[in-house]
Structure 1
Amino acid sequence: MTDAPPKIRIRDLCKSFGSKQVLDGVTFDVAQGTSCVIIGGSGSGKSVLLRCILGLMTPDSGSIEIDGENILTAPASRRDRLRGEIGMLFQNAALFDSLPVWENVTFGLLARKRLSRRDARTQAGEILAQVGLDPSVGDLYPAELSGGMQKRVGLARAIAARPDMLFFDEPTTGLDPIMGAVIDGLIVNCVKTLGSTAIAITHDMASAQRIGDQAAMLYQGRLVWQGSANTLMDSGNPYVDQFTHGRREGPITMELRR
């Protein structure tokens, strides 16, 4: 038994935009070295939750702890240091079109002056190899890459600094099922190799089961279920069952946009 706090602890997190309550008392933990997948429909609050943890948005109330420290009340320098331990794979890879692949991969390391440009080029090749790409790909530009290759480069950039935490935003969006499975396999291998703690948001149930240890579902800003990712398809929860099986009938209703 251990009294160590979870790597990431979210408590009563709330965020609204005007009269729209996007996060409504979200509470969950992610243990060190495990992966948690957040599922839910469009507008359920998944992306806002991720942005709050990343510091791109400030929640209205609640707490976000990393290693037992509330990053919302920590000094700015400490917040930056804690968030610097996070690697991020964005939904559309979000590569810099004007930079070659090797500079994209080592962008964060160069920006923090942790590597010289010469060393960065060499290290980029080693990191690209970890995601199944030849080091020569480092000399190409993002526009010269397929969607699957761009995802791999985005993953290489996410792991370049060997972060304690990895976040994935819809990692298989836009990929065919085979390439999606390849990317999921790379994600699992990278997380295990680094010993990182991971959070992913996804609509892809096959992906969720491949990369997640735990899973949680957001609906209308609330967590309506938490459990093992391998029970997503037979959770016994009516919200999860309707979502994972794509049923029209159930407790989830489509809201009219105004």
Structure 2
Amino acid sequence: MMTQQPCIRIRGLKKSFGNRTILNGIDLDIPAGASTVIIGGSGNGKSLMLRCILGLIEPDEGIIEIDGEDILRASTKRRDALLRRIGMLFQNAALFDSMSVMENILFGLKAKRHGRTALPHRTELEQEAFHLLAQVGLGPNVAPLNPAELSGGMQKRVGLARALAGQPDILFFDEPTTGLDPIMSAVIDGLISDCVTQRGSTALTITHDMTSARRIGDHAAMLYGGKIIWQGPASDLMNSGNPIVDQFTHGRREGPITTTMTDQPAIGG
């Protein structure tokens, strides 16, 4: 029986800053059309791993494959084509403060089309932007507002609308529920789940929120000490049988995780 090729395959991924090693041989498979969550303490390299996949930071060693193609060794043109398949929702939504909600989404629409096809008329792009806002539960009255006029939850939803602008089949979420109340966290989690179940997207989320991780995740993994130390069904997160995972997921002060590890500066999250 043949095993389905993972959408993203990572092997031996390493990255150091000076004499400090953050990623020390990451091995991870991200299944296609499913939701994978990565947990781990601050400073363990979760966000850094995403940045390496996105090409924002060059790793020291390793393999990163998308559908079997190593993006680290592909030509610039081919790498760009593969990375255009990824939509990203950053932790703070990363909206442009000087642009309205509409302009932020139009930026996403134009960026994904750059160099591929002629841009449609602005009116057509605006209609597409309104459709994206509707997909994340926001009305057209939000379009002329600036990000500073939005609540944290609304900013996250606008960020997700912009991430969806290029119709990506791979979506990355960096701490999507941080700073949100429980109800808004559930809203964001529902939108992430919809991306997988309704759009067929492959989702990779890094989070500290165990409720969110179990709610949106099909698969889960924990990053600790520069390596993936546990992988399994997200439903097993609270009963993993791994003492490090159990201490983290239950928030216990005593256990194998020391404050020396969790109190490190958060280089790469």
* Pairing 1:142-157 to 2, within 5 Å after superposition: 142-157=147-162
Corresponding position of 2:195: 190
Corresponding position of 2:19: 19
Distance 2:204 2:143 in 1: 27
Aligned-residue offset at 1:2: 4.3
The alignment of Structure 1 onto Structure 2 pairs a total of residues equal to 258
Corresponding position of 1:208: 213
Verify the 8 A CA contact 2:108 2:163 in the aligned structure 1: no
2:166 is matched with which residue: 161, 166, 177? 161
1:121 is matched with which residue: 126, 129, 140? 126
Aligned-residue offset at 1:4: 4.4
Distance 1:17 1:7 in 2: 28
Verify the 8 A CA contact 1:215 1:228 in the aligned structure 2: yes
1:241 is matched with which residue: 226, 239, 246? 246
Aligned-residue offset at 1:237: 0.6
Secondary structure, aligned partner of 1:187: helix
238-247 vs 4-13, greater mean Cα deviation:
4-13
Encode CA deviations 1:21-47: one digit per residue, 9 max, x unaligned.
Answer: 101111011111011101000111111
Counterpart residue type for residue 219 of structure 1: Y
Verify the 8 A CA contact 1:165 1:198 in the aligned structure 2: yes
TM, length-normalised to structure 2: 0.92
Distance 1:257 1:69 in 2: 34
Aligned-residue offset at 1:229: 0.5
Counterpart residue type for residue 83 of structure 2: R
Distance 1:108 1:73 in 2: 27
Counterpart residue type for residue 29 of structure 1: D
User: Any stretches of 5+ residues in structure 1 without a counterpart?
Assistant: none
Structure 2 CA distance for partners of 1:135 and 1:191, relative to 1, 3 Å: farther
Aligned-residue offset at 1:98: 1.4
Counterpart residue type for residue 142 of structure 1: P
Encode CA deviations 1:106-128: one digit per residue, 9 max, x unaligned.
Answer: 31222325443221111111111
Distance 1:4 1:226 in 2: 17
Identity value in percent: 65
Corresponding position of 2:53: 53
Corresponding position of 2:39: 39
Structure 2 CA distance for partners of 1:4 and 1:245, relative to 1, 3 Å: closer
Corresponding position of 1:10: 10
Distance 1:174 1:24 in 2: 30
Verify the 8 A CA contact 2:42 2:264 in the aligned structure 1: no
Corresponding position of 1:227: 232
TM, length-normalised to structure 1: 0.96
113-122 vs 79-88, greater mean Cα deviation:
113-122
Counterpart residue type for residue 247 of structure 2: Q
Across the aligned residues of Structure 1 and Structure 2, the Cα RMSD in angstroms comes to 1.4
Secondary structure, aligned partner of 2:87: strand
Corresponding position of 1:96: 96
Verify the 8 A CA contact 1:16 1:22 in the aligned structure 2: yes
164-173 vs 246-255, greater mean Cα deviation:
246-255
Counterpart residue type for residue 51 of structure 2: R
Verify the 8 A CA contact 1:233 1:245 in the aligned structure 2: yes
Distance 1:169 1:257 in 2: 19
Counterpart residue type for residue 162 of structure 2: R
1:218 is matched with which residue: 220, 223, 226? 223
Verify the 8 A CA contact 1:109 1:115 in the aligned structure 2: no
User: Any stretches of 5+ residues in structure 2 without a counterpart?
Assistant: none
Distance 2:24 2:89 in 1: 26
Distance 1:105 1:131 in 2: 12
Secondary structure, aligned partner of 1:74: coil
